[in-house]
Structure 1
Amino acid sequence: MRSFTDAKAMARSLRSALGDKKLELSHGECLDIVARQFGLDNWNVLAAKIDAADGGKPAEATSDGIRLIEAIPILRIFDVAKAKEFYVDFLGFTIDWEHRFGDNFPLYAQVSRAGLKLHLSEHHGDAIPGSTVFVWMRGIAEYHRELTAKNYRYYRPGLEDAPWDARVMEVGDPFGNKLRFSEPNKADDPRA
């Protein structure tokens, strides 16, 4: 009997079974379906639950009391509609929250997918356009298929072999920022 910690395997099985019936869903869509089967809103909520069950506690503090929790890149955006079209509609991220200091103020928001969090900001000085975020991941071929199947008119990423013994897919947002997704070739590689 499978439990919620087997969600990725369940999503792969679901996608395969649907594919046999000529029903094509992305891996991300199947993860969301599995999450809903466990009574949760989406994959991000289930992923957090899995992480907690796997002992996903923060690293211990060093002897001097310093403990670094997580890094969340801030990416500069200039158009909220284009940012949502790219990060939500194309890349499949979820908007976690949005903040403005008042009416007609710049947006500051968090988007996430499968454990990765990004902050998007219209605020001058928060980030410099043209930044690159490097993301270790698993399932890059599935993610590549999902993105290319969307036939997004502004971007069709490639999937290439990288000199660091990995596969890489780079996408550029409408504001000059790049997300470089990379998966090590070896399943037991500790980088991802």
Structure 2
Amino acid sequence: MSVPTFQGAIPVLRSFDEAKAREFYCGFLGFSVGFEHRFAPGMPLYFEVERAGLKLHISEHHGDATPGSTVFVWMQGIEALHAELTARDYPNNRPGIETAPWGRELQVIDPFGNRIRFCESA
């Protein structure tokens, strides 16, 4: 019997507005769209955003995810990410870097209440 192996996880975050989701994830955070899917025109959008090895799935489908979720992301280069985000003119997020016992965190909140905590280990 073989032992299971895992190849990573991709969080699914709930969205209610395609334009706001694209503005936040692509415009503000600098992600690129990996793929998009709708069952038919006018149906809810399910899409992937990716950046530097991090992939997130964004879904407008009822029941796919709970608004207000939190994703914790280990990373390197938190100062560079902070400088990049603060240089953008995004009116709803001005993240800072907080020091926690496990590392330095930069938290952003999307337009749907989902949080992404980027953390560089101490």
Looking at structure 1, the residues matched to 77 and 48 of structure 2 have their Cα atoms a distance apart, in angstroms, of 23
Structure 1 residues 95-148: Cα deviation after superposition (integer angstroms, max 9, x where no partner)? 011000001100000000000000000000000001000000000000000000
Q: Name the residue aligned to 2:42.
A: 104
Using the alignment, how far apart are the partners of 1:100 and 1:124 within structure 2?
13
Q: Unaligned regions of 5+ residues in structure 1, if any?
A: 1-62, 186-192
* 1:174 equivalenced with 2:111 (yes/no): yes
Structure 2 residue 58 is matched with structure 1 residue 120: yes
Q: How does 1:21-36 map to 2 (within 5 A)?
A: none
- Write the mapping of 1:27-46 to structure 2, written as runs, cut at 5 A: none
Segments ≥4 residues shifted beyond 4 Å: none
Taking the aligned partners of 1:184 and 1:108, their CA distance within structure 2 comes to 32
Would you say 1:157 and 2:95 are equivalent positions?
yes
Determine the structure 1 residue equivalent to 2:3: 65
Q: Distance in 2 between matches of 1:167 and 1:148?
A: 16
TM-score normalized with structure 2 length: 0.97
Q: Identity over aligned residues, as a percent?
A: 60
Measure the CA separation in 2 of the matches of 1:160 and 1:133: 16
Give the aligned partner of residue 83 of structure 2.
145
Which protein shows a greater Rg?
Answer: 1
1:92 equivalenced with 2:43 (yes/no): no
Aligned AA for 2:52?
Answer: A
Aligned length: 122
**1:145 match: secondary structure:** helix
1:91 aligned partner, one-letter code: L
Structure 2 spans left out of the alignment, 5+ residues: none
Task: Give the Cα–Cα distance (whole angstroms) in 2 for the partners of residues 137 and 71 of structure 1.
Answer: 15
With structure 1 as the length reference, what TM-score do the two structures score?
Answer: 0.62
Structure with more of its chain in strand, by fraction: 2
Note the 1:128-143 alignment, pairs <5 A: 128-143=66-81
Alignment-mate amino acid for residue 54 of structure 2: L
